[in-house]
Structure 1
Amino acid sequence: MENREKFSSRLGFILISAGCAIGLGNVWRFPYITGKYGGAAFVLIYLVFLIILGMPIMAMEFAVGRASRKSAARSFHVLEPKGTKWHIEGYIAMAGNYLLMMFYTTVGGWMISYIFKMASGSFTGLTPDEVGGVFSGMLASPGSMTFWMIVAVLLAFGICSMGLQNGVERITKVMMSFLLVILVVLCIRSVTLPGAGAGLEFYLIPDFGKIVENGVGNVIFAAMGQAFFTLSLGIGAMAIFGSYISRDRTLMGESVNICILDTVVALMAGLVIFPACFAFGVDPGEGPGLVFVTLPNIFNQMAGGRLWGTLFFVFMSFAALSTIIAVFENIISFAIDLWGWTRKKSVAVNLILILVLSIPCVLGFNVWSGIAPLGAGSTIQDLEDFLVSNNLLPLGSLIYLLFCTSRYGWGWDNFIAEADAGKGIRFPKWARFYVSYILPLIVLFIFVMGYWQKFAA
């Protein structure tokens, strides 16, 4: 057994894995989709899918990581039966991690820049249109976007360069603790605003009429998609942390803990956003606009808004950075596992690589805005996101599923022995048929529907 770094504590492992799962999808996509598809009723369906879709695949990814003690670059080589080609997933996973960082670093940069914009009072006294103008002004400026993207990349690689325990684990623990504290403070502020009751009602009382209105199929697919994408499964982003943990806890139990943390943050983000939107009569609009335009407008109208706004963007930056650090840790370990590089060398080479790879996304909003890879109005970022979310995540998850259940892969018996090692919740034996035959079909359905919605609908 080679000398592989390990987490110093179980809490470190849970917080870092949750940090990887808790990204911007929880914070801006979850509240928006929840609002669109009927509030609490949607949340119930989402939770069901999180349990039947997210948890088993997460346990499998952890199992492959822990049994092989390698990152996705080498884990399949170690575990696959001789002469088989499962290790091709290693290349898919590596591509997925790099592609994800090609656009995520830019969005991380936006969040960090907004901490400074909020704190310095850039929005004070602006009309709603002018607040929107600040965001479009930022997108139009390649220089400032590049600067903030570099800040995000340097911060995250700086932390990774300090090592697993001293850097990644120690700093992520602090960041995640602050993230949860800030979130609680923001929730309390939001739900005590005058007029917040209507937002709470909308968010917490199920309205099954809305589900019918939006079409049951659409709502189920949206819930399924959100449950699937929120955990970033399929590109080995979780497997790496499996490779750093000891065998004294079962993997299903750890997956449950991480899913609970991930969900609590998503639900609390909704408790910040909906009451505030309803209190100030604002529609909880879509995507980036919600975070960068709608919320700064709300903070403008709120007493002490500059403080609350600054705290909100510190929270958002921590959510983004926890994911970037986790994926960078994976990327760094690829070179360490493949070519035996030192951590320092891997950080240095990947730092330059990621900075170069992140430039197309930045330029796609301004200098190269004429490039519309997915049809009119789309950007380079949309293409990168589509490749990761609609292709590499579902296909990668499918490979992990088949690898752990098929006798042509690592196989069910090996998987169960690894997943159930230690104390805690066991992987349910009765679920074997479901994860072998039904779950792969669900993942395939998500993959096909992603294309259908993009190009046919």
Structure 2
Amino acid sequence: MRDSFHTRIGFILAAAGSAIGLGNIWGFPSQAANHGGAAFLLVYLAVVVILAVPALYTELSLGHAAQANPVKALSTLSQTHSPVTAASGKTMGYLNVIGAILMLSFYHLVAAWMVAEGLTFLLQALSMSSLAQWTKTSSMLRDIILLLVFVTLTFGIVIKGVQNGIERWSRRLMPLLVVLLIGLIVYIATLPGASDGFRAYLVPDFNAMFSADLLVSAMGQAFFSLSIGLGGMMIYGSYLKKGTRLGRLTWSVAALDTLVAFLAGLLIIPALYVAMAQGLSVTEGEQLIGEGRLIFQVLPDLFDRLGNTGSWLGFGFFALLSIAALTSTIATAEVPIAYAIETHPVNRRQAALIIAAMISLIGITLVVFFDPLFNWVVTYVTQFQLPLSGLFYFIVIGWLWRRSNRLRELAHTELRYRLLFWHLRVVCPLLLAWVFVDVAL
């Protein structure tokens, strides 16, 4: 018998945890800062409704209908059309499993850097300067040790199953993440320069709203923010009991994910302006520094300038990022684990240990051969695998899945479902294809 979520709130927190990752904490604020502040936020909210929520609903529906891992789910739901489409579904399912493993490999390395930064600030606050120097200094040994620590955290949770592992820890980690985020916002708001950041974030530049670049950026961020395209949401959907109504659950997950992204903007953008008030350089040309340099250079420099209080602030901030990373890795890890359990004669413990070993090996390889491999793996997963998988999900629900497709059946009887069905069938694939082509070019 397959494991399942025990409660509705447990599923919402776990699915939202899957969606809430580093892209919310650093990706969304960076995009907002460089695309008109609240103008980007307004367009982003519209795009969430038009593209991201339908994509999330689609992936959850595929998993819920098949009650299986992505390989079996996509193969089964595609085979009602022809053997060729069934083979295409199976191939995409395998790409989901491979993509999940690759994403886990680089994501655990990034998480290791987060842990290193957090430990550095904690050790500084505790006046343990020699250890702080070790965690602060980048080295292969440090990265490998902390990568293995984070792999242990991830698989220590998923090895216990859905109810006792993923659901239980999601109910603990998600409230902690929100409390940390709000606490950091409150403190940053007291510092000189923060008010300028709030103004830049919350007052829209309406001229920017009509930029094609803003629209594509908002679509890409909304789609990637909800963790769609690697089968994690499909697996979570498969762990919902038959007959579960997915509509409200989808909106709840999307609302919580969007709320955290909005709150992250209330933290990061004012923090950038605080850094500017402290004399730090936070711009590249006319744009604010974003993502990697923001997280690993600008903000740590700001925290260092704030003395002992800054050390605790830095620890809290990187603890926040580490929790966001962990809630994402436990969801993504379930994709290859579920595949292994359902297609090979192994139990959950054996599958988790095998996948953990694979992730560790690939992750260590990325550490050792960082320059030639890391950016290639990240680019493949985020710019190719995610949008391609999402596009295929829309094709499955709109064109290939015929028998037992509840949405297709309802579309014959009610206008609202007919409009939704054609939205998923035509509008969403075209919008996602636009994002895919724009990113590829």
TM-score for both structures, normalised by structure 1: 0.86
Deviations 1:326-352 (A, max 9, x none): 111222111011114200110121111
Counterparts of residues 293-304 of structure 1 (less than 5 Å): 293-302=297-306, 304=309
Equivalent position of 2:436 in the other structure: 447
Contact 2:197 2:270 in 1 (8 A): yes
C-alpha distance after superposition, 1:127-160 (max 9, x if no partner)? xxxx9x987x41xx11111111111101111111
Structure 1, unpaired ranges of 5+: 372-379, 421-425, 453-457
1:105 maps onto 2:96 in alignment: no
Q: Distance in 2 between matches of 1:357 and 1:98?
A: 9
Task: Say which structure is richer in helix.
Answer: 2
Percentage of matched positions with identical amino acids:
32
Shift in alpha-carbon separation, 1:248–1:419, aligned structure 2, 3 A: farther
Counterparts of residues 299-310 of structure 1 (less than 5 Å): 299-302=303-306, 304-310=309-315
Q: Shift in Å at residue 184 of structure 1? A: 1.0
In structure 2, the CA distance between the partners of 1:313 and 1:427, relative to structure 1 (3 Å rule), is: farther
For 1:443, give the aligned amino acid.
L
Match of 1:374 in 2: none
The CA distance in 2 between the partners of 1:210 and 1:436, in whole Å, is 30
Render the CA deviation track for 1:72-96: whole Å, top value 9, x for unaligned: 1211233331633222221121121
Structure 2 counterpart SS, 1:87: helix
**1:398 paired residue number:** 391
Deviation >6 Å, runs of 4+: 417-420
Residue 208 of structure 1: how far off its partner (Å): 2.3
User: Which amino acid is the alignment partner of residue 320 of structure 1?
Assistant: A
Residue deviations 1:151-176, cap 9 Å, x none?
Answer: 11011111111121111111121011
Give 1:418 deviation, angstroms.
9.6
The counterpart of 1:285, out of the listed 283, 289, 292, is 289
Deviation string, structure 1 residues 251-310 (Cα, Å, up to 9, x no partner): 122111111111111111111122222134242512211112111222223361121111
Residue 91 of structure 1: aligned partner = 94
Deviation at 1:41, TM superposition (A): 0.3
**Distance change >3 Å, CA 244–CA 134, structure 1 → 2:** closer
Structure 1 window deviating more from structure 2 (115-124 vs 353-362): it is 115-124
Confirm or deny: 8 A CA contact 1:175 1:318 kept in the other structure: yes
Between the aligned partners of 2:90 and 2:143, the Cα distance in structure 1 is 37
Superposed CA RMSD:
2.5
Q: 1:167 to 1:262 in 2, by over 3 A?
A: same
Are 1:252 and 2:257 an aligned pair? no
Give yes or no for the alignment of 1:272 onto 2:267: yes
2:237 maps to: 242
- Residue number in structure 2 paired with 1:187: 185
- Are 1:162 and 2:157 counterparts? no
* 1:121 and 2:133 aligned: no
Paired residue secondary structure (1:233): coil
Code of the aligned partner of 1:106:
L
Q: TM-score, normalised by structure 2?
A: 0.89
Matching residue of 1:436: 425
Cα offset, 1:203, TM superposition: 0.3
User: What is the deviation of 1:9?
Assistant: 0.9
Matched to 1:109, the amino acid is A
**Which of 356, 363, 366 in structure 1 is aligned with 2:368?**
363
**Alignment match, 1:228:** 223
How far the C-alpha of 1:313 sits from its partner, in A, is 0.9
In structure 1, what is the Cα distance between the partners aligned to 2:126 and 2:209? Answer: 37
Deviation at 1:354, TM superposition (A): 0.9
| Structure 2 residue 357 is the aligned partner of structure 1 residue 352 | yes
Is residue 410 of structure 2 the alignment partner of residue 410 of structure 1? Answer: no
Shift of 1:438: 2.2
Whether the 8 Å contact between 1:60 and 1:419 is mirrored in structure 2 is no
Distance 1:102 1:52 in 2: 32
Q: 1:162 to 1:171 in 2, by over 3 A?
A: same
Bigger shift: residues 30-39 or 297-306 = 297-306
What residue in structure 2 maps to residue 316 of structure 1? 321
Structure 1 residues 348, 398: CA separation in 2 closer, same or farther (over 3 Å shift)? same
The count of corresponding residues between Structure 1 and Structure 2 is: 420
Aligned counterpart, 1:455: none
SS in 2 for 1:336: helix
C-alpha deviation, 1:248, in angstroms = 5.1
Report if the CA contact (8 A) 1:156-1:325 is conserved. Answer: yes
Unpaired stretches in structure 2, ≥5 consecutive residues: 283-287
| Cα shift at 1:205 | 0.5
Give per-residue Cα distances to partners, 1:99-148, cap 9 Å, x unaligned: 21121110011111222101011899x9xxxx9x987x41xx11111111
